[in-house]
Amino acid sequence: MQIAFRPATSLDISTINFLAQKIWRIHYSNIISAEQIEFMLLNRYSSRAIEEGMKSGEKYFLAFRESEAVAYASIEQKNNFYYLHKFYLDVSKHRTGIGKQFFHYLLSQIDASKPIRLQVNRTNYKAINFYFKVGFVIEQVGDFDIGGGYFMNDFVMTYHHPL
């Protein structure tokens, strides 16, 4: 099985959007309402939102198994840390090692002296366990108003590079 990773460009926006649509509707169907899934897809994972993220400093990356795009991520450098906005793997590829390899690839693309932060839904147990396995710890708990009457009930997690 050939796994490859690369930075994404604006030419990849439709691929990232396709993956988001596929992954979110399957993975989040038992975590949040169908209405909130559609709200999130429209407001944060649409082609327009992805393009705006790229223009404002989010760096996107893709993972491929053979020639099929199976995962995407975006990370943004803040003042003293990185923020991992997105890290999604096709649900049918979970537990194959691709996620861990993709995370290590992302680490190779950033300054190792700065920590990484992310938010993850508190009932997204698969993702939380994955983040624990690669070295994240829970920093805080929060409920974040995202508009439309929806909230993200999340853990804020942090990863510090081993010295």
What pLDDT, on the 0 to 100 scale, is given for residue 152?
87
Is the pLDDT at 42 greater than 70? The verdict is: yes
pLDDT at 66 (0 to 100): 92
Q: Of 145 and 158, which is predicted with more confidence? A: 158
- Comparing CA positions, the residue from 72, 82, 66 lying closest to residue 12 is 72
Enclosing domain of residue 24: 3-159
**CATH number of domain containing 37:** 3.40.630.30
Q: Which run of H or of E encompasses 155?
A: strand 150-159
d(CA 46, CA 109): 25
Give the pLDDT mean for 93-101.
94
Task: Name the pLDDT band for 16 (thresholds 50, 70, 90).
Answer: very high
The answer to whether residue 1 scores a pLDDT higher than 90 is: no
Number of domains in the chain: 1
Query: What pLDDT does residue 161 have?
Result: 85
Tens of pLDDT along 103-126? Answer: 999 999 999 889 999 999 999 999
Q: What is the CA radius of gyration of the chain?
A: 15
Least confident of 22-26, 35-39, 122-126, 145-149: 145-149
Average pLDDT value for the chain:
94
Question: What is the pLDDT at residue 163?
Answer: 61
- Model confidence, pTM: 0.93
Q: In whole angstroms, give the CA distance from residue 162 to residue 146.
A: 33
Structure tokens at 18: 């396709």
1 or 115, greater pLDDT: 115
Residue 100 has pLDDT above 70, yes or no: yes
